[in-house]
């Protein structure tokens, strides 16, 4: 049986002498490459590139793209990751020539539009989170965490305090302890109660003068809002401990409550999760971090600032007369620069466009519909699967396949079977404190019809686990490749053909 074209590498489609273009001979003299380039930089033999026609190339990569799952083509219920639809107007704005073609080293005088956008976006994020200042520089949520922890460290040192540890619940994202360790702190893991919330007694046992910060995701990774969060924050502040909120799940409380109002000192924003910038695929990210006023002196440099002076243009509106925007580098207590230039600007444009088009009421509806959708899914599936934590949930729900495991069917098996039924799988085995975890986040963008179809597929799999578990253990059977050896792929990746 012939191998399908989509199973072949581009090199396997190669045929000697085949080319993707045909151009006439040049009508001007051609320089001798060997005379222009030193011999040590020239190849002894041509590179072994595939020889294919233009049509071969187009068809090969078009077929591959059709095998991909993506938010534009499929429901993508990855819990914690918040894979929601990105409105295309945001993409159009990021591609405006004045933004897309602006060089990062362009002088401030010709970058006023970009600088104003950054200034206004930071102000909007500060207002949304109840913070006093925001840095847009971090390139991802994890780098936002690192920036926040470094600012906490700088704050304590400025007060003559050399604290050594950070407290983090056992339900935390893996980036939390990693970022904290990189910042030079010892990580202390706190236990969760049976309800999925932080064990306050365990927290109290570890709060002392050595504690620099308490770091928590709100809502937490079980999709639960910590009901005693204000008490927890007061406990920490009473001992001089700073409180950091991982804002990965900010989309659950958007427009309803604000981290700053709850008492948090620091909060980072995952723009891809809450404000619809692209997520994954190796592309640029953005993880701005907001702080309260006492941490503002330690923000990464540079900070975008608004300056007032004499009117530059008679046609300017009164409120903009004499206003310019610039980069403030003179911040003696700053933790320094986190990356080249000022941040991933295209991501900032997308987030700004989203906030401006949604408005306050629209942003609140994001949280309300995300919470509604997650609870709808949880209620429909709770009879077929165990719950990872008591409901109701916030923007995501965690199920457990421990009941199916008794039939020899694991969370991985369920994830693979979903591929046969036309759905991408939820996050599996996270959070780590739930056995055989299936973490589902429908987001606010999905319709009831889509959620019903997904729930019917999950219910069908639960029935199959009881009656024919071997069917699920063989899945997937409809995909281009079956189950891959993930351990071998990680240890011995094939990076060359």
The 3-state DSSP class for residue 167 equals strand
Structure tokens at 23: 């151009």
Q: Give alpha helix (H) positions in 68-214.
A: 88-94, 97-100, 112-129, 141-158, 175-182, 200-206
Q: Tokens 């986040």 label which residue?
A: 441
Beginning with the edge strand found earlier in the chain, give each strand of the sheet holding 186-190 in spatial order. Answer: 133-135, 289-291, 266-268, 242-246, 211-217, 165-169, 186-190
pLDDT in tens, the chain (497 residues): 444 555 678 888 899 989 888 888 888 888 887 788 888 998 888 888 999 999 988 998 888 888 778 888 889 999 888 888 889 999 999 999 999 999 989 999 999 999 999 999 999 999 999 999 999 999 989 999 999 999 999 999 999 999 999 999 998 888 999 999 999 999 999 999 988 899 999 999 999 999 999 999 999 999 999 999 999 999 999 999 999 999 999 999 999 999 999 999 999 999 998 998 887 544 578 999 999 999 999 999 999 999 986 545 555 554 556 899 999 999 999 999 998 888 889 999 999 999 999 999 999 999 999 999 999 999 999 999 999 988 799 999 999 999 999 999 999 999 999 999 999 999 999 998 999 999 999 999 999 999 999 999 999 999 999 999 999 999 999 887 888 888 998 898 877 65
Among the listed residues 378, 126, 70, the one whose alpha carbon sits nearest the alpha carbon of residue 267: 126
Single out the residue of 60, 47, 217, 42 nearest to residue 145, CA to CA. Answer: 217
CA distance 164 to 150: 12
Q: Which domains occur in the chain, in start order?
A: 5-67 (no CATH), 88-356 (3.40.640.10), 367-489 (3.90.1150.10)
The predicted model scores a pTM of 0.87
d(CA 386, CA 71): 27
Q: Which tokens go with 188?
A: 């202390």
Nearest Cα to 350, choosing from 294, 284, 408? 284
């Amino acid at each position: 049986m012939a191998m399908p074209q989509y199973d072949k590498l581009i090199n396997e489609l190669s045929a000697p002498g085949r080319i993707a273009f045909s151009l006439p001979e040049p009508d001007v003299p051609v320089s001798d490459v060997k005379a222009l380039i030193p011999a040590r930089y020239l190849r002894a033999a041509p590179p072994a590139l595939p020889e294919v026609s233009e049509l071969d190339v187009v068809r090969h990569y078009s077929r591959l793209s059709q095998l991909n799952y993506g938010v534009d083509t499929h429901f993508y219920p990855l819990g914690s990751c918040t894979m929601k639809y990105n409105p295309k107007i945001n993409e159009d704005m990021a591609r405006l020539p004045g933004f897309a073609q602006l060089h990062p080293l362009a002088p401030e005088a010709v970058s006023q539009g970009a600088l104003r956008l950054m200034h206004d976006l930071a102000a909007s994020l500060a207002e949304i989170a109840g913070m006093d200042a925001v840095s847009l520089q971090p390139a991802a949520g994890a780098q936002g965490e690192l920036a926040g922890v470094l600012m906490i460290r700088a704050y304590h040192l400025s007060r003559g305090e050399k604290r050594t540890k950070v407290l983090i619940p056992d339900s935390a994202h893996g980036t939390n302890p990693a970022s904290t360790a990189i910042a030079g702190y010892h990580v202390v893991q706190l236990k969760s109660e049976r309800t999925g919330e932080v064990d306050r007694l365990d927290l109290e046992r570890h709060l002392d003068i050595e504690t620099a910060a308490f770091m928590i995701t709100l809502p937490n990774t079980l999709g639960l809002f910590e009901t005693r969060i204000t008490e927890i924050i007061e406990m920490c502040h009473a001992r001089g401990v700073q409180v950091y909120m991982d804002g990965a799940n900010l989309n659950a409380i958007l427009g309803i409550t604000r981290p700053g109002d709850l008492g948090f000192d620091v909060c980072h924003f995952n723009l891809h999760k809450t404000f619809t910038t692209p997520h994954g695929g190796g592309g640029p990210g953005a993880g701005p971090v907001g702080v309260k006023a006492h941490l503002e002196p330690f923000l990464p440099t540079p900070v975008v600032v608004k300056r007032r002076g004499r009117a530059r243009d008679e046609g300017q509106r009164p409120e903009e007369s004499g206003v310019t925007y610039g980069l403030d580098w003179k911040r003696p207590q700053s933790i320094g620069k986190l990356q080249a230039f000022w941040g991933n600007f295209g991501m900032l444009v997308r987030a700004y466009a989203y906030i401006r088009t949604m408005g306050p009421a629209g942003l609140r509806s994001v949280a309300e519909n995300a919470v509604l959708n997650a609870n709808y899914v949880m209620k429909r599936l709770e009879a077929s699967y165990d719950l990872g934590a008591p409901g109701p949930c916030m923007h995501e729900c965690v199920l457990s396949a421990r009941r199916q495991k008794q039939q020899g069917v694991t969370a991985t098996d369920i994830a693979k079977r979903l591929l046969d039924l036309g759905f991408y799988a939820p996050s599996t085995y996270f959070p780590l404190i739930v056995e055989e975890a299936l973490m589902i986040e429908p987001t606010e963008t999905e319709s009831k019809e889509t959620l019903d179809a997904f729930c019917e597929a999950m219910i069908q799999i639960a029935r199959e686990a009881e009656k024919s578990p071997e069917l699920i253990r063989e899945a997937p059977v409809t995909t281009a490749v079956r189950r891959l050896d993930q351990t071998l792929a990680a240890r011995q990746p094939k990076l060359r053909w």
